[in-house]
Chain A
Amino acid sequence: SQTIHQWPATLVQPVGSPLSLECTVEGTSNPNLYWYRQAAGRGLQLLFYSIGIGQISSEVPQNLSASRPQDRQFILSSKKLLLSDSGFYLCAWSVSGTGIYEQYFGPGTRLTVT
């Protein structure tokens, strides 16, 4: 069966510090991968998606970047965090090219920028 991992679970970082959040998927190959941010009262905001290694699309211009160094690894980064980067970050995957259309979410990372 497939599983998705995110770490760390919680993170408190000062303004101006760097960020690296990691997401890995097990039990599937060539998944589509997604990073979302969830802020209170604003639902889920799609930040990045990837359909393959090294292929990243950005949905919203911002202080963050994403990379996919391996097929089942997706990393969210920032060089200098802003207060507005606080939120709950969710990684998700979906199978491409089949009849399955839903996304499967990881447990999330709670980021607080102080």
Chain B
Amino acid sequence: AQSVTQLDSQVPVFEEAPVELRCNYSSSVSVYLFWYVQYPNQGLQLLLKYLSGSTLVKGINGFEAEFNKSQTSFHLRKPSVHISDTAEYFCAVRNRGGYQKVTFGIGTKLQVIP
């Protein structure tokens, strides 16, 4: 079975400051990893994904994430946040092969302070 841990439920950060949202996963097999963003009262939107290849993945809105297999982590980063980045961010993992069941973390609320 796979699992995802998002270590911070809320992260306040000042506008234009850098941010890192942490995600660790657990799985007995190789995985695919995702970050989604959810704005209030909306569905989830894919930010970025790691399938294979380069461990540094760039996504939309200036976000990037780095896959670290030895630390089983997939932390999300942005060098300079904007007010519009205020949202909830979900890390997700899916085992390679077979049915596409995805396990989501409980989410991290990013609050950008003006």
Is B74 an interface residue when CB atoms closer than 8 A count as contact?
no
A-side interface residues, number (CB < 8 Å): 23
B-side interface residues, number (CB < 8 Å): 22
Once the chains bind, are A102 and B34 in contact (CB under 8 Å)?
yes
Is A106 an interface residue when CB atoms closer than 8 A count as contact?
yes
In the complex with contacts A90-B44, A101-B49, A105-B45, A32-B90 CB distance below 8 A: no
Interface string of A65-97 (1 = CB under 8 A from B): 000000000000000000000001010101010
CB contact list, A37-89 vs B, under 8 A: 41-44, 46, 49, 51, 88
Is B28 an interface residue when CB atoms closer than 8 A count as contact?
no
Q: Which of B16-24, B77-85, B97-105 contacts A (4 or more CB under 8 A)?
A: B97-105
- Kindly name the residue among A41, A44, A90, A92 whose own CB sees the greatest number of chain B CB atoms within 10 A: A44
Q: Which B residues are in CB contact (< 8 Å) with A94?
A: 100
In the complex with contacts A101-B49, A101-B100, A90-B107 CB distance below 8 A: no
Once the chains bind, are A102 and B46 in contact (CB under 8 Å)?
yes
In the complex with contacts A43-B107, A108-B42, A108-B43, A103-B90 CB distance below 8 A: no
Interface string of B89-101 (1 = CB under 8 A from A): 0100010000111
Q: Which B residues are in CB contact (< 8 Å) with A105?
A: 36, 43-45
What is the distance, in angstroms, from A104's C-beta to the closest C-beta of chain B? 8
Once the chains bind, are B49 and A43 in contact (CB under 8 Å)?
no
Once the chains bind, are A110 and B41 in contact (CB under 8 Å)?
yes
What is the distance, in angstroms, from A86's C-beta to the closest C-beta of chain B? 15
